[in-house]
Structure 1
């Protein structure tokens, strides 16, 4: 049996219907939609295409199940998550293959995503038994103040296509740990990872009705009924700022708790005292992880003038050597983009930049082959007015802009409505602390191109979002405070 046959058999083993009340069911409309491998343009699966009727059924189930699920012991919830973690790690290769088949990233990266995704279940399995409270006295000593924490209630979870497994576990993990039921809409471009995850959670002992999965090619037809239902008490969304704004408007109708992980425009800053080897390695990670299709991707590369030319030369040398191809193929380092319009967007952004005088050091064009590929690209002499300075590139393009001093680059870095993440490379410790205080982002990496970690609070400021995922604060997004006042009788 060939590797291709093994992959087809594995994909065929993944459920492709909706998951509601512990059962795999077809869409009420009977509609289905195709899942495309972006490296080959081949149809790899046909999935149930959910709609409003399915959405209503799912949120009704979540609402009915909420009370009994909230009453489960923290240790029971913890053990479900721990078993799910272990099952994911046991099936790392299978899950990685599914990720690569549906969204294109190289298998090595997909394996890393499985490890990262599973770690959220392990982390929140430990947090489930550490939900605390507080007890104190009022200032006058006459009242006992007792504070407890309770699950917020049924949650709407909406995830993107770029990290299809990890974005699911990052939301599902704390919801389970806190005692919340869920309705979950994964991206229809990459649903198979989420379906496989639902199967794993069922095997790990998650009761029917706690997690309900409805995928749809028309996301609004599913998510809006959830938001308008009055039964959902929280929404957690990862995606574009534009969609996040619409969801916040809908959430206001019933005053829903909201967590939003939205767009980014990450500055990547290299000072002239930086170790350039470290900076180039950091750039490769921050720019090319997931083919640049990440909200944390370095979007604007500001390099101090004295080292800008050398940095560009070294980065272009590394990027031009990368092997681009099908992520299933051994040796592939950069996979395809997710769909044709993603390639079109990057092509347009590069054309705008070169039209304004930018110089292409390497790459600069789509690759002519089956699949949706764009060459890893380095641009220099980029005009700050270029479109790619104010839009998320979401592709393997590194625009380099020289700067003169710290004050100037901080101003340039902050000249954006977004504030998710930033990166800076310097050997000056005092400067590192100044940057942490002055750059307007929720996360800052110093001498590293990777900030994501299940043990850290992930999230941004400004139009990059609300709330945090992961870390000790991640579970708090799914809990609400309850205060009990009791008169204190003195003898």
Structure 2
């Protein structure tokens, strides 16, 4: 099949972006108030679809970070003492307010992140669900009671709020990654400071305003936007009042933060990088496998830690899968996310495009064949077309690095043992995908895969009710489900006699 250029829709004029961001907060949110950063410093926010600055937000520094810790401490005792039912009611109010403002939030995400509006709408629904889920979990904190085996006393186990939490979120899901951390922290009785990504601060600040409207008490949630993330987060982690760090981002940054957190022995939850294998066996339903591949690869334009990164296809189905998959990829319409017909928006930055270009060029230089796409699109914005590569060499960099873009490298395999070995040959272990009509085989392979999550015959695994997290260098701990709230609770054992 010859390479097919992706269709790029009509460019969006910048006034549309300006209209969306007009009502978005742009200051720091500390102690329940919107405040300017020290010396009124600001930094720009860029619309990746056009490359233009659409807003400036407050650029917090170390002093602002410590002010946020002060506010969290001032609110901590009262919020810890707040009844689980009251915390639940506040979180449920957040859920309803997010849904009421869902379309504006989706457009705001699209403008500062670039993703297609359909993807942004899905993210808002996902983000809201964390508020609802943890509103329900807030009243279900676990506890234990029973006699000691010796009969000398009773064993009581309580779970108490761990304390002030620093939450660091990425740019690719600016709403959902914020609520996935804030909601369980509040449900557990913790106060927090959110440090969102500098690329997408507007969505996080909008979430803060919604939480203020919902009645979250002053200081329970604080938001510090900054271009000096390293020093600001380090200062907070070295403040003895901070007892929890939850980070979503790259494995490299995660390693640095773990070292920082060690100085004060701060509890850490880490959701780090991924290199997800997508395995298609000969007996898989072709239509289901292709549909799953499109979701696993192209959800959020490929800019997701759960995105399928390596496609392993058994030789008997290889030609048909490659042809069908490439046809679906080539048919996607590329353009600014606010254009209704757009299915794939721009990447987040020019640097992101350059990285994808480098990985594709390296693969081609080592023998890969471009089936569709394969070269960046000209014009304004940070665009790269949907791309499928066949005959990818095992030593290609694209099989080792997290792509974070709309590129699918395909590798043939023959045996189950072979594909399991290739799938596990990575430092990452976040998620895997397995497609087969033989459930026994799919489950057997799942048991051999070194990943914290597996999708069988489906291309998406994320669910507020499920434990999200990885093995190896893909992270520590879990988010979502009841496990997510446990990350913000300390276990206290009481030996009691009476």
TM-score where L is the length of structure 2: 0.96
Greater CA drift, 395-404 or 209-218 = 209-218
Q: Indicate whether 1:103 and 2:107 are aligned.
A: no
Greater CA drift, 353-362 or 137-146 = 137-146
1:44 counterpart SS class: strand
1:303-329 CA distances to partner (integer Å, 9 max, x unpaired)?
Answer: 001111111111110101110000101
2:374 counterpart SS class: coil
Partner in structure 2 of residue 333 of structure 1 = 343
**Contact 1:157 / 1:183 at 8 angstroms: preserved in 2?**
yes
Change (3 A) 1:115 1:258: same
Q: CA deviation at 1:250?
A: 1.2
CA distance in 1, matches of 2:14, 2:186: 36
Q: Indicate whether 1:225 and 2:255 are aligned.
A: no
Counterpart pick for 1:400 among 402, 410, 417: 410
Runs of 4+ residues deviating >3 angstroms: 2-7
CA distance in 2, matches of 1:445, 1:485: 43
Q: Indicate whether 1:315 and 2:325 are aligned.
A: yes
Counterpart pick for 1:171 among 181, 186, 211: 181
Counterpart pick for 2:304 among 286, 294, 298: 294
Q: Indicate whether 1:270 and 2:285 are aligned.
A: no
Counterpart pick for 2:358 among 340, 343, 348: 348
Ranges in structure 1 where 5+ consecutive residues have no aligned partner: none
Q: CA deviation at 1:4?
A: 6.8
Greater CA drift, 479-488 or 189-198 = 479-488
Partner in structure 2 of residue 216 of structure 1 = 226
Ranges in structure 2 where 5+ consecutive residues have no aligned partner: 1-11
Q: Indicate the structure whose relative CO is greater, using CA pairs within 8 Å and at least 6 residues apart.
A: 2
Partner in structure 1 of residue 93 of structure 2 = 83
Q: CA deviation at 1:5?
A: 5.2
Counterpart pick for 1:123 among 112, 126, 133: 133
Partner in structure 2 of residue 444 of structure 1 = 454
**Contact 1:29 / 1:51 at 8 angstroms: preserved in 2?**
no
Partner in structure 1 of residue 172 of structure 2 = 162
Partner in structure 1 of residue 8 of structure 2 = none
Equivalent residues in 2 for 1:409-420, closer than 5 Å: 409-420=419-430
Partner in structure 2 of residue 423 of structure 1 = 433
Partner in structure 1 of residue 79 of structure 2 = 69
CA distance in 1, matches of 2:20, 2:259: 41
Partner in structure 1 of residue 53 of structure 2 = 43
Q: Indicate whether 1:94 and 2:104 are aligned.
A: yes
Q: Indicate whether 1:138 and 2:148 are aligned.
A: yes
Counterpart pick for 1:357 among 361, 367, 392: 367
1:233 counterpart SS class: strand
Greater CA drift, 479-488 or 317-326 = 479-488
Q: CA deviation at 1:64?
A: 2.4
**Contact 2:17 / 2:54 at 8 angstroms: preserved in 1?**
no
Counterpart pick for 2:123 among 95, 113, 133: 113
Counterpart pick for 2:293 among 273, 283, 303: 283
CA distance in 2, matches of 1:257, 1:65: 20
Q: CA deviation at 1:9?
A: 3.3
| Count of matched residue pairs | 487
Counterpart pick for 2:210 among 179, 200, 216: 200
CA distance in 2, matches of 1:97, 1:91: 10
CA distance in 1, matches of 2:408, 2:327: 13
**Contact 1:100 / 1:110 at 8 angstroms: preserved in 2?**
yes
Partner in structure 2 of residue 247 of structure 1 = 257
CA distance in 2, matches of 1:447, 1:222: 43
CA distance in 2, matches of 1:261, 1:203: 29
CA distance in 2, matches of 1:339, 1:8: 19
1:462-482 CA distances to partner (integer Å, 9 max, x unpaired)?
Answer: 000000000121100000111
Q: CA deviation at 1:238?
A: 0.1
CA distance in 1, matches of 2:454, 2:227: 35
**Contact 2:434 / 2:446 at 8 angstroms: preserved in 1?**
no
Q: CA deviation at 1:487?
A: 2.0
Partner in structure 1 of residue 35 of structure 2 = 25
CA distance in 1, matches of 2:202, 2:319: 44
CA RMSD after TM alignment: 1.1
CA distance in 2, matches of 1:7, 1:336: 14
**Contact 1:29 / 1:50 at 8 angstroms: preserved in 2?**
no
Partner in structure 1 of residue 9 of structure 2 = none
CA distance in 2, matches of 1:349, 1:295: 17
Partner in structure 2 of residue 152 of structure 1 = 162
**Contact 2:48 / 2:113 at 8 angstroms: preserved in 1?**
yes
1:343 counterpart SS class: helix
Q: CA deviation at 1:142?
A: 0.9
